[in-house]
Protein backbone atom coordinates (compact mmCIF):
# COMPACT_ATOMS: atom_id res chain seq x y z
CA UNK A 1 0.00 0.00 0.00
CA UNK A 2 1.46 3.37 -1.01
CA UNK A 3 -1.11 5.87 0.29
CA UNK A 4 -4.14 5.81 2.57
CA UNK A 5 -6.54 8.22 0.90
CA UNK A 6 -9.85 6.67 1.88
CA UNK A 7 -11.69 3.55 2.95
CA UNK A 8 -13.44 3.26 -0.38
CA UNK A 9 -10.50 1.49 -1.99
CA UNK A 10 -9.33 -0.35 1.11
CA UNK A 11 -9.67 -4.11 0.57
CA UNK A 12 -10.97 -6.47 3.23
CA UNK A 13 -7.51 -7.99 3.64
CA UNK A 14 -5.74 -4.65 3.95
CA UNK A 15 -8.30 -3.35 6.46
CA UNK A 16 -8.00 -6.48 8.57
CA UNK A 17 -4.20 -6.43 8.41
CA UNK A 18 -4.20 -2.82 9.71
CA UNK A 19 -6.55 -3.75 12.58
CA UNK A 20 -4.52 -6.83 13.49
CA UNK A 21 -1.21 -4.98 13.46
CA UNK A 22 -2.80 -2.24 15.58
CA UNK A 23 -3.43 -4.87 18.25
CA UNK A 24 0.31 -5.51 18.49
CA UNK A 25 1.02 -1.78 18.43
CA UNK A 26 -1.41 -1.18 21.30
CA UNK A 27 0.84 -3.19 23.60
CA UNK A 28 3.34 -0.32 23.41
CA UNK A 29 0.76 1.95 25.04
CA UNK A 30 0.88 -0.08 28.24
CA UNK A 31 4.66 -0.05 28.51
CA UNK A 32 6.68 2.34 30.55
CA UNK A 33 9.08 2.93 27.65
CA UNK A 34 6.82 3.68 24.71
CA UNK A 35 9.23 3.35 21.84
CA UNK A 36 9.79 0.96 18.94
CA UNK A 37 12.71 1.44 16.57
CA UNK A 38 10.59 0.55 13.50
CA UNK A 39 10.59 3.95 11.74
CA UNK A 40 13.90 5.33 12.96
CA UNK A 41 15.35 7.76 10.44
CA UNK A 42 11.98 8.38 8.74
CA UNK A 43 10.46 11.86 8.59
CA UNK A 44 6.71 12.40 8.83
CA UNK A 45 5.13 15.83 8.39
CA UNK A 46 1.67 16.48 9.80
CA UNK A 47 0.33 19.14 7.43
CA UNK A 48 -2.85 20.41 9.03
CA UNK A 49 -4.69 23.12 7.14
CA UNK A 50 -7.68 22.87 9.49
CA UNK A 51 -8.03 22.78 13.29
CA UNK A 52 -7.57 19.51 15.09
CA UNK A 53 -6.73 18.31 18.59
CA UNK A 54 -6.99 14.55 18.71
CA UNK A 55 -6.13 13.56 15.15
CA UNK A 56 -2.97 15.65 14.96
CA UNK A 57 -1.76 14.72 18.43
CA UNK A 58 -2.56 11.09 17.84
CA UNK A 59 -0.56 10.97 14.59
CA UNK A 60 2.29 12.80 16.26
CA UNK A 61 2.40 10.36 19.17
CA UNK A 62 2.08 7.39 16.80
CA UNK A 63 5.04 8.60 14.73
CA UNK A 64 7.14 9.31 17.82
CA UNK A 65 6.46 5.91 19.39
CA UNK A 66 7.72 4.35 16.18
CA UNK A 67 10.87 6.53 16.45
CA UNK A 68 10.13 8.60 13.34
CA UNK A 69 10.86 12.33 13.32
CA UNK A 70 7.48 14.05 13.27
CA UNK A 71 7.03 17.69 12.37
CA UNK A 72 3.84 19.72 12.51
CA UNK A 73 2.91 22.33 9.93
CA UNK A 74 -0.34 24.26 10.20
CA UNK A 75 -1.90 26.78 7.85
CA UNK A 76 -1.62 29.47 10.48
CA UNK A 77 2.04 30.19 10.95
CA UNK A 78 3.06 28.79 7.55
CA UNK A 79 3.43 30.47 4.16
CA UNK A 80 -0.16 29.46 3.34
CA UNK A 81 -1.20 32.56 5.27
CA UNK A 82 1.01 34.55 2.88
CA UNK A 83 -0.96 33.24 -0.08
CA UNK A 84 1.19 30.30 -1.14
CA UNK A 85 -0.77 27.61 -2.99
CA UNK A 86 -1.25 24.14 -1.53
CA UNK A 87 0.80 22.71 -4.41
CA UNK A 88 3.77 25.01 -3.77
CA UNK A 89 3.65 24.42 -0.02
CA UNK A 90 3.59 20.65 -0.44
CA UNK A 91 6.29 20.61 -3.13
CA UNK A 92 8.48 22.76 -0.87
CA UNK A 93 8.11 20.38 2.07
CA UNK A 94 8.54 17.35 -0.21
CA UNK A 95 11.81 18.77 -1.52
CA UNK A 96 13.22 18.57 2.02
CA UNK A 97 13.11 14.77 1.91
CA UNK A 98 9.90 14.02 3.78
CA UNK A 99 8.87 10.32 3.76
CA UNK A 100 5.18 10.77 4.55
CA UNK A 101 2.60 13.52 4.83
CA UNK A 102 -0.42 13.30 7.07
CA UNK A 103 -2.81 15.82 5.58
CA UNK A 104 -5.91 17.53 6.85
CA UNK A 105 -7.51 20.04 4.52
CA UNK A 106 -10.91 21.75 4.22
CA UNK A 107 -11.29 20.77 0.54
CA UNK A 108 -12.67 17.37 -0.43
CA UNK A 109 -10.13 15.55 -2.60
CA UNK A 110 -7.11 17.53 -1.34
CA UNK A 111 -5.21 14.46 -0.11
CA UNK A 112 -5.58 12.65 -3.44
CA UNK A 113 -4.47 15.77 -5.26
CA UNK A 114 -1.33 16.08 -3.15
CA UNK A 115 -0.58 12.38 -3.76
CA UNK A 116 -0.32 13.26 -7.45
CA UNK A 117 2.18 16.05 -6.81
CA UNK A 118 4.71 14.70 -4.32
CA UNK A 119 6.86 11.59 -3.98
CA UNK A 120 6.08 10.96 -0.29
CA UNK A 121 3.41 8.63 1.10
CA UNK A 122 0.11 10.38 1.83
CA UNK A 123 -2.28 9.68 4.66
CA UNK A 124 -5.59 11.48 4.51
CA UNK A 125 -6.43 12.82 7.98
CA UNK A 126 -9.71 14.38 6.82
CA UNK A 127 -10.40 16.16 3.54
CA UNK A 128 -13.44 18.43 3.56
CA UNK A 129 -16.62 16.39 3.55
CA UNK A 130 -15.03 13.45 1.80
CA UNK A 131 -13.11 10.86 3.88
CA UNK A 132 -11.26 10.37 7.17
CA UNK A 133 -10.00 6.79 6.87
CA UNK A 134 -8.00 6.47 10.10
CA UNK A 135 -11.06 7.60 12.08
CA UNK A 136 -13.16 4.79 10.58
CA UNK A 137 -10.33 2.30 11.19
CA UNK A 138 -10.04 3.29 14.85
CA UNK A 139 -13.82 3.13 15.20
CA UNK A 140 -13.75 -0.39 13.76
CA UNK A 141 -10.89 -1.31 16.08
CA UNK A 142 -12.82 -0.12 19.16
CA UNK A 143 -16.01 -1.85 18.10
CA UNK A 144 -14.23 -5.14 17.39
CA UNK A 145 -12.53 -4.98 20.79
CA UNK A 146 -15.86 -4.30 22.53
CA UNK A 147 -17.58 -7.20 20.76
CA UNK A 148 -14.74 -9.56 21.57
CA UNK A 149 -14.63 -8.55 25.22
CA UNK A 150 -18.40 -9.04 25.57
CA UNK A 151 -18.51 -12.27 23.57
CA UNK A 152 -20.58 -10.82 20.75
CA UNK A 153 -18.57 -12.09 17.78
CA UNK A 154 -17.41 -10.03 14.81
CA UNK A 155 -18.75 -7.47 12.34
CA UNK A 156 -21.06 -9.81 10.46
CA UNK A 157 -24.68 -8.74 10.87
CA UNK A 158 -23.95 -5.94 13.36
CA UNK A 159 -26.16 -2.85 13.03
CA UNK A 160 -24.13 0.33 13.38
CA UNK A 161 -26.15 3.55 13.35
CA UNK A 162 -24.34 6.71 12.30
CA UNK A 163 -26.45 9.53 13.61
CA UNK A 164 -26.53 13.27 13.06
CA UNK A 165 -24.89 15.75 10.76
CA UNK A 166 -24.07 13.39 7.91
CA UNK A 167 -24.12 16.15 5.31
CA UNK A 168 -20.97 17.86 6.60
CA UNK A 169 -19.22 14.72 7.76
CA UNK A 170 -16.24 12.89 6.30
CA UNK A 171 -16.40 10.36 9.11
CA UNK A 172 -19.68 8.97 7.78
CA UNK A 173 -18.34 8.14 4.32
CA UNK A 174 -15.24 6.38 5.61
CA UNK A 175 -17.30 4.45 8.13
CA UNK A 176 -19.92 3.37 5.60
CA UNK A 177 -17.27 2.03 3.19
CA UNK A 178 -15.30 0.26 5.90
CA UNK A 179 -18.28 -1.22 7.73
CA UNK A 180 -19.64 -2.56 4.44
CA UNK A 181 -16.24 -4.09 3.63
CA UNK A 182 -16.08 -5.72 7.06
CA UNK A 183 -19.62 -7.13 6.82
CA UNK A 184 -21.56 -4.88 9.20
CA UNK A 185 -24.78 -3.02 8.34
CA UNK A 186 -24.57 0.79 8.50
CA UNK A 187 -27.84 2.53 9.38
CA UNK A 188 -27.85 6.24 8.65
CA UNK A 189 -30.01 8.44 10.88
CA UNK A 190 -30.44 12.16 10.21
CA UNK A 191 -32.99 14.86 9.52
CA UNK A 192 -33.66 15.14 5.77
CA UNK A 193 -31.78 18.47 5.70
CA UNK A 194 -28.59 16.80 6.94
CA UNK A 195 -28.52 13.82 4.57
CA UNK A 196 -25.84 14.05 1.83
CA UNK A 197 -27.00 14.23 -1.78
CA UNK A 198 -27.00 10.81 -3.46
CA UNK A 199 -27.06 8.94 -0.14
CA UNK A 200 -29.71 6.59 -1.59
CA UNK A 201 -27.02 5.14 -3.89
CA UNK A 202 -24.74 4.13 -0.98
CA UNK A 203 -26.58 0.85 -0.40
CA UNK A 204 -27.31 1.56 3.27
CA UNK A 205 -30.42 1.80 5.41
CA UNK A 206 -31.55 5.39 5.88
CA UNK A 207 -34.10 6.77 8.30
CA UNK A 208 -35.12 10.14 9.69
CA UNK A 209 -36.59 8.47 12.78
CA UNK A 210 -33.95 7.58 15.39
CA UNK A 211 -36.49 5.97 17.73
CA UNK A 212 -37.62 3.56 15.06
CA UNK A 213 -34.19 1.85 14.86
CA UNK A 214 -32.78 2.53 18.36
CA UNK A 215 -33.61 -0.75 20.07
CA UNK A 216 -32.08 -2.97 17.38
CA UNK A 217 -28.69 -1.24 17.30
CA UNK A 218 -25.34 -2.73 18.24
CA UNK A 219 -23.59 0.64 18.04
CA UNK A 220 -24.93 4.18 18.20
CA UNK A 221 -22.25 6.37 16.64
CA UNK A 222 -23.14 10.00 17.31
CA UNK A 223 -21.65 12.65 15.04
CA UNK A 224 -21.01 16.26 15.94
CA UNK A 225 -23.29 18.96 14.64
CA UNK A 226 -20.69 20.82 12.55
CA UNK A 227 -21.89 24.37 12.98
CA UNK A 228 -18.72 25.85 11.51
CA UNK A 229 -19.68 24.28 8.17
CA UNK A 230 -23.32 25.36 8.25
CA UNK A 231 -24.33 28.45 6.32
CA UNK A 232 -28.06 28.35 7.05
CA UNK A 233 -30.62 26.79 9.36
CA UNK A 234 -30.45 23.03 8.98
CA UNK A 235 -32.62 22.45 12.05
CA UNK A 236 -34.83 24.73 14.19
CA UNK A 237 -32.90 24.89 17.51
CA UNK A 238 -30.27 22.78 19.31
CA UNK A 239 -32.97 21.77 21.78
CA UNK A 240 -35.23 20.41 19.06
CA UNK A 241 -32.28 18.68 17.40
CA UNK A 242 -31.40 16.99 20.67
CA UNK A 243 -35.02 15.92 21.24
CA UNK A 244 -35.20 14.21 17.85
CA UNK A 245 -31.61 13.06 17.20
CA UNK A 246 -29.64 13.31 20.44
CA UNK A 247 -28.59 10.29 22.46
CA UNK A 248 -30.52 11.53 25.48
CA UNK A 249 -30.70 9.88 28.89
CA UNK A 250 -34.02 8.36 27.90
CA UNK A 251 -32.72 6.90 24.61
CA UNK A 252 -29.63 5.58 26.37
CA UNK A 253 -31.84 3.41 28.57
CA UNK A 254 -33.54 1.93 25.51
CA UNK A 255 -30.35 0.64 23.87
CA UNK A 256 -30.22 -3.14 23.96
CA UNK A 257 -27.95 -5.10 26.29
CA UNK A 258 -24.40 -5.15 24.89
CA UNK A 259 -24.89 -2.13 22.64
CA UNK A 260 -22.19 0.55 22.79
CA UNK A 261 -21.82 4.25 22.08
CA UNK A 262 -19.22 5.86 19.83
CA UNK A 263 -18.38 9.48 19.05
CA UNK A 264 -15.33 10.62 17.06
CA UNK A 265 -15.12 13.85 19.09
CA UNK A 266 -15.14 16.69 19.66
CA UNK A 267 -18.50 16.25 21.41
CA UNK A 268 -21.22 18.83 21.84
CA UNK A 269 -22.58 17.59 25.14
CA UNK A 270 -26.30 18.26 25.40
CA UNK A 271 -26.75 18.51 21.64
CA UNK A 272 -25.99 15.21 19.82
CA UNK A 273 -25.02 13.35 23.00
CA UNK A 274 -26.01 13.72 26.65
CA UNK A 275 -23.39 13.59 29.37
CA UNK A 276 -25.08 10.45 30.66
CA UNK A 277 -24.40 8.72 27.33
CA UNK A 278 -20.91 10.16 26.81
CA UNK A 279 -19.79 8.94 30.22
CA UNK A 280 -21.80 5.71 30.32
CA UNK A 281 -20.10 2.38 31.04
CA UNK A 282 -20.89 1.29 27.50
CA UNK A 283 -19.42 4.46 25.96
CA UNK A 284 -16.35 3.71 23.84
CA UNK A 285 -15.40 7.39 23.42
CA UNK A 286 -12.11 7.31 25.32
CA UNK A 287 -11.30 3.84 24.06
CA UNK A 288 -11.64 5.23 20.53
CA UNK A 289 -9.04 7.87 21.37
CA UNK A 290 -6.66 5.29 22.84
CA UNK A 291 -7.19 2.99 19.85
CA UNK A 292 -6.47 5.91 17.54
CA UNK A 293 -2.79 5.93 18.45
CA UNK A 294 -2.41 2.17 17.88
CA UNK A 295 -4.29 2.29 14.58
CA UNK A 296 -2.19 5.22 13.35
CA UNK A 297 1.01 3.42 14.35
CA UNK A 298 -0.23 0.48 12.34
CA UNK A 299 -1.03 2.65 9.30
CA UNK A 300 2.33 4.45 9.45
CA UNK A 301 4.16 1.16 9.74
CA UNK A 302 2.14 -0.40 6.92
CA UNK A 303 3.09 2.44 4.57
CA UNK A 304 6.62 3.13 5.75
CA UNK A 305 7.88 0.07 7.60
CA UNK A 306 10.81 -2.00 6.50
CA UNK A 307 10.49 -5.59 5.36
CA UNK A 308 12.43 -6.81 8.40
CA UNK A 309 9.36 -7.01 10.60
CA UNK A 310 8.82 -5.27 13.88
CA UNK A 311 10.39 -6.04 17.18
CA UNK A 312 7.77 -5.48 19.82
C1 LIG B 1 -13.93 14.67 13.10
C2 LIG B 1 -13.32 15.43 11.96
O3 LIG B 1 -12.58 16.37 12.15
O4 LIG B 1 -13.62 15.01 10.85
N5 LIG B 1 -13.20 14.65 14.28
C6 LIG B 1 -12.09 13.89 14.40
O7 LIG B 1 -11.25 13.79 13.53
N8 LIG B 1 -11.95 13.21 15.55
C9 LIG B 1 -15.33 14.97 13.31
C10 LIG B 1 -15.72 16.36 13.71
O11 LIG B 1 -15.01 17.33 13.52
O12 LIG B 1 -16.84 16.46 14.21
CATH architecture of 7-131+291-304: 3-Layer(aba) Sandwich (3.40)
Alpha helices (runs of H) in the chain, residue ranges in sequence order = 12-29, 54-65, 86-94, 110-115, 133-149, 171-182, 210-214, 238-245, 249-254, 275-278, 285-304
- Report CA(235)–ligand 1 centroid distance (Å): 20
Domains 7-131+291-304 and 133-289 share a fold: yes
The backbone torsions φ and ψ at residue 205, rounded to the nearest 5 degrees and listed phi first, read -75, 140
What does the pLDDT look like over 89-115, one tens digit per residue? Answer: 999 999 999 999 999 999 999 999 999
| Ligand 1 contact, 168 CB (< 6 A) | no
Name the residue of 6, 48, 50, 55 to mutate for ligand 1: max ligand atoms within 8 A of Cβ. 55
How do residues 193-250 score in pLDDT, each as one tens digit? 999 999 999 999 999 999 999 999 999 999 999 877 666 677 878 889 999 999 999 9
In CATH, the number for domain 133-289 is 3.40.50.1370
**How far is the C-alpha of 16 from the C-alpha of 182, rounded, in Å?**
8
Atom of ligand 1 minimally distant from the CA of 169:
4
Q: What is the DSSP string of 153-200?
A: --STT-EEEEES--TT-SHHHHHHHHHHHHT-EEEEE--GGGSPTTGG
Q: What angle do CA 218, 134, 269 make, to 5 degrees?
A: 55
pLDDT digits (tens, 9 = 90+) for 246-292: 999 999 999 999 999 999 999 999 999 999 999 999 999 999 999 99
Distance 170 CA to ligand 1 centre (A): 8
C-beta of 224 in contact with ligand 1 (< 6 A):
yes
The domain limits of the chain are: 7-131+291-304, 133-289
What is the Å distance from ligand 1's center to 162 Cα?
A: 14
Q: Give the global pTM.
A: 0.95
Amino acid sequence: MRHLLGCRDLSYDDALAILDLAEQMQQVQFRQVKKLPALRGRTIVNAFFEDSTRTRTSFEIAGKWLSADTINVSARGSSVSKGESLRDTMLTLDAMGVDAFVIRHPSSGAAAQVAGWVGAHIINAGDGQHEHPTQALLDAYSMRKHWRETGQGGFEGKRVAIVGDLLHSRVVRSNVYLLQTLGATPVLVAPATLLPAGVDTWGVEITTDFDEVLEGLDIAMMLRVQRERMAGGFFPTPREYSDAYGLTFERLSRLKQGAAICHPGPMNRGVEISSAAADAVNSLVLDQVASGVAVRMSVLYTLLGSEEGIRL
